[in-house]
Structure 1
Amino acid sequence: MDSRWKSIWEMKVPDKVKFFMWKAGNNLLATRVNLFSKKVIENPICPICLKGEETIMHVLWHCPAAGDMWAESHRAIQKWGPLETDLLKLWKDLEGKLNKYELDGVAVIMRGLWMRRNKFIFDNKFLSPSSIIKYARESIEEYHAVEEGTVEQKSSRNGHHQE
């Protein structure tokens, strides 16, 4: 198995984050470029910045809105330019510069950026970088608490705890 995929599947994050990274790394997300190539939409331009074509790398790294997110979230990342064009190459670079806990945070923030993009498109609401950072922190903390057995599992809809 490619070491990049191994590091993604071994992350200490919720499975939905790992699955998101897998879809993003395989270019399986419904970006505007992917939808445009399938003739589903007529315009591949990013709906947030209106400047570049919306690829997965644009949403997660190149878009000025993503840059604002990274500038607020992590000092080691904020000065990196938008050089990479491939998510898995970027991930390999990140692996060489960040520890595993920081990589986990990057993955959760990337999923948060994708969720923010969807919220903007479908609900016309734009989440702030601080709300995404808070979501990332809480997701990781909750995951670790559940793994360590210090938190009860979430209740089901009927109020009973799931077994």
Structure 2
Amino acid sequence: HNVLGGQPKSLPVIEEADEEVKRKVTLFRTIEDFRKLDEVARKSESITIIGGSFLGSELANSLNRRFGKQGLQIRQASFDIFREKGNIAEILPQFLSKYATSELRKSGVNVMSEKELKRVTVDENGKLRLQLATGEIINTDHIVVAVGISANTDLAKSCGLEIDP
């Protein structure tokens, strides 16, 4: 299988949000995204990372190690269609997923699993307001969506090749 590049995936709830929300969201994939996020983290009190797989888990760990002692609150959440029971749960056996989640929590990352994100808005203080299906509200300065990529299949389609879903 060859992938001809791709774009970072987003979530419908982010796509449907206002432009003011989208300005405070990073779709994470490249080292350049990390550099930009480094600047955002320096100016933020809290960052919420959406995605519980390798990318989201490593990013939560890296940001926490880099900025946690300076007071930056890191929250990692498995939202929406990615309602995993723990970190890297779709790949690791349950006991390893629980261990990875436990280690991230011990390091200071607020790991939230099996949540459903319903809506994202900006409050009167300029913070992002994440409304969960349970009614719970999470306030954060910035959201990082780290849920993988969508393969760029335009070239293959234009050549008449069959594309697997």
Per the normalisation by structure 2, the TM-score is 0.27
Compare the two structures and name the one with the higher helix fraction.
Answer: 1
Tell me which of the two structures has the higher relative contact order, counting C-alpha pairs closer than 8 angstroms and 6 or more residues apart: 2
Instruction: Write 1 or 2 for the structure with the bigger share of strand.
Output: 2
- State TM-score, norm by structure 1: 0.27
